[in-house]
Amino acid sequence: MKFDTPATTNPIDQLKVVGQPLDRVDGPLKTSGTAPYAYERHDVVANQAYGYVVGAAIAKGRITGMALDAARAAPGVITIVTAETAGKLDKGKRNAATLFGGPEVEHYHQAVALVVAESFEQARAAAQLVQVDYAKAEGAYDLAAAKQAGVEPSEGSPDQKVGDFEAAFAAAPVQFDRTYTTPDQSHAMMEPHASIAAWEGDKVTVWTSNQMVDWATTDLAQTLGLPKEQVRIVSPYIGGGFGGKLFLRADTLLAALGARAAKRPVKVALTRPMMANNTTHRPATIQRIRFGAGRDGKLTAIAHESWSGNLPGGEPEDAIQQSRLLYAGANRLTGNRLATLDLPEGNAMRAPGETPGLMALEIAMDEMAEQLGLDPIEFRVRNDTQVDPANPDRPFSQRQLIECLRQGAERFGWDKRATKPGSRREGRWLVGIGVAAGFRNSMSMPSGARVRLDAAGVVTVETDMTDIGTGSYTIIAQTAAEMMGVGMDKVVVRLGDSSFPVSAGSGGQWGANSSTAGVYAACVKLREAVAQKLGFNSADTAFADGQVRAGNRSAPLGQAAGEGGLVAEDTIEYGDLAKQYQQSTFAGHFVEVAVDAATGEVRVRRMLAVCAAGRILNPKSARSQVIGAMTMGVGGALMEELAVDKRHGFFVNHDLATYEVPVHADIPHQEVVFLEEADATSSPMKAKGVGELGLCGVGAAVANAIHNATGLRVREYPITLDKLLDRLPDAA
């Protein structure tokens, strides 16, 4: 199905099932421990052996020797795989570094060997006996030093210039110029990267934890030098990904190589330190923001430049993208600068680009509002735009940012906020309220599905879409139930198998809208097949309560399937609507904090997100996504930071004991409000995405609340108490 004109009225608009806050259909499996995650698939293949990864002990250089005899002789060892014995390996197009190092080492903890044994403990013990000799080379591990030495604009993300920023900035009556930094961050999902691989002849099946099944299939096939049809990826349940499982990683490749060498199934899970240093992370940024404005508070000049680093072939952290669209201003300069760093690969982490970008931009907006003597919300409202600032002929399809801020202000009690920072006190606590705009672009991806109907009237959906804990099973079931006029009890959803039609996958906030639109397209075909089988005019046919009706005729849905059943398959494909309209999502984030006047300890007291994100397909699961994102925003603001050893080039705090993330005690009541919205330009579902929007802007809202509480401005994340302590008021 080609979606190239705005959606009109369709069966989804009934909202009998879609749009309802239904419980997760996979909930009972998750809560009972019977949802089969990758490493626990003891049922899929017998005689599984265990692989343990040996990671490089240097960040850059060469392997000069590897002693394996002691490890080979250890109890239970079946085989040891190295890059030398693995045979020729290519590199997947989505990987910056090779997944199996040797003799060259490209980053710390790059996999250099896999020890396969009868038990995990035997494999781990033998891996300690592998002796690797290195010739260490000098590397670059310091983003600030690289920036100082000079970094060119990124070729993959060139500067965008609109008007004449320099002239407008120089002429502006009010000028602003500040620099902000965000640190490297880890996805820190609960489930590690884990895979089980088994060969049958020259075909390999991998049960793995991966968000994008087709990407994993394609890149594993390319890496192994196999035709794609000889690789099968199965990933029905994923215990968190946040972008860290978008791409083929070492666990999947090494499980396949280990199984081939051992001639039996092999399972591999990366240890927590490996997850930090071997897989991807969110790269650190240094961001310079400049504003020029008139005395009336209207921005006339906007510049946002961001520096980040990556391995050769990697991409920048696109922290400037929201600044191209969020606020009006005739003269603009935005661009990324990419430094070559020899740290582990930087890549997508939940809401890549906008998350660190808004952490800087939305503090800058508060600072500029203060400089102008304007209320922070009023300043944002004055600089709202309903069109793409770089292309005024291209309107936003929907843009309710002002409504998000206005409604949020009313609900949160913005009028009670102290206008003088540091002036509200409750005993030992300094109390403040902060706001930030949330913004995340809405992207669409082609997505396919297969729909089967049987004689009992049961509808089965098959698509390689994944569920990373976000509710894909449920909203896909809701879509099929709405389209075919059946209850949720008559829908079966099968996900995460590369033998199913290729879907959008889970990432970029495109998953929900695109994958359900693919199911919609397949159901349109199935409805036509049902009507034809029953001899009904498809244009007049209604599907409801398990019945098919046309005029005064009706029949049970299952009757059309007969004993052989009916099958329909289709893919939603998008035309140029995204070029004609800027499709984005918006939020107003509000946070209240209390800061201990003596210690600088920060406690978040209240949080509110007001979101405008198209049709909400399931308010219950959407709320869960948003509060999870808000929690991650608190982590980014107050505690999350991968500490870089700039001598040896690795992340020191590579476990959950020292890489701090919020726990339940850190998070107060969180309120989420969804504005009424249906975006006809996005898809037949008229939805967008909301999971990443819930994170975008939260960090800045926390930072702005801390400033309102204390009068202190911190521009280096995370805002730990040491950055406040020596500047707190004297009287505690």
Contact criterion met (CB below 8 Å) for 322 and 585:
no
What whole-number distance in Å separates Cα of residue 119 and Cα of residue 202?
Answer: 26
- Specify whether 317 is catalytic: no
3-state secondary structure of 156: coil
What is the Cβ-side half-sphere exposure of residue 64, based on CA atoms within 13 angstroms? Answer: 8
The Cα-based distances of 39 to 35, 113, 262, 454 in angstroms read: 12, 20, 18, 33
- CA-based nearest residue to 650, from 52, 53, 56, 54: 56
**Residues with Cβ < 8 Å from 673, sequence gap 6 or more?**
407, 408, 411, 608, 609, 610, 611
**Residue 596 CB neighbour total at 10 angstroms:** 18
What whole-number distance in Å separates Cα of residue 84 and Cα of residue 81?
Answer: 8
The Cα-based distances of 239 to 30, 516, 697, 728 in angstroms read: 10, 21, 25, 41
What whole-number distance in Å separates Cα of residue 480 and Cα of residue 449?
Answer: 11
For 255-326, list the strands marked E by DSSP: 266-269, 285-293, 299-310
**Which of 106, 315, 482, 692 is flagged as catalytic?**
692
β-pair type (391-395, 387-388): antiparallel
Contact criterion met (CB below 8 Å) for 15 and 678:
no
Contact criterion met (CB below 8 Å) for 296 and 373:
no
Residue 283 is classified by DSSP as P
**Residue 45 CB neighbour total at 10 angstroms:** 17
Task: Say which amino acid occupies 126.
Answer: A
How far from the centroid of its chain's Cα atoms is residue 638's Cα?
20
- CA-based nearest residue to 618, from 481, 438, 485: 481
Beta bridge partners of 52: 115
Terminal-residue alpha carbon distance, the chain: 66
Contact criterion met (CB below 8 Å) for 378 and 343:
no
Q: Which residues are catalytic?
A: 692
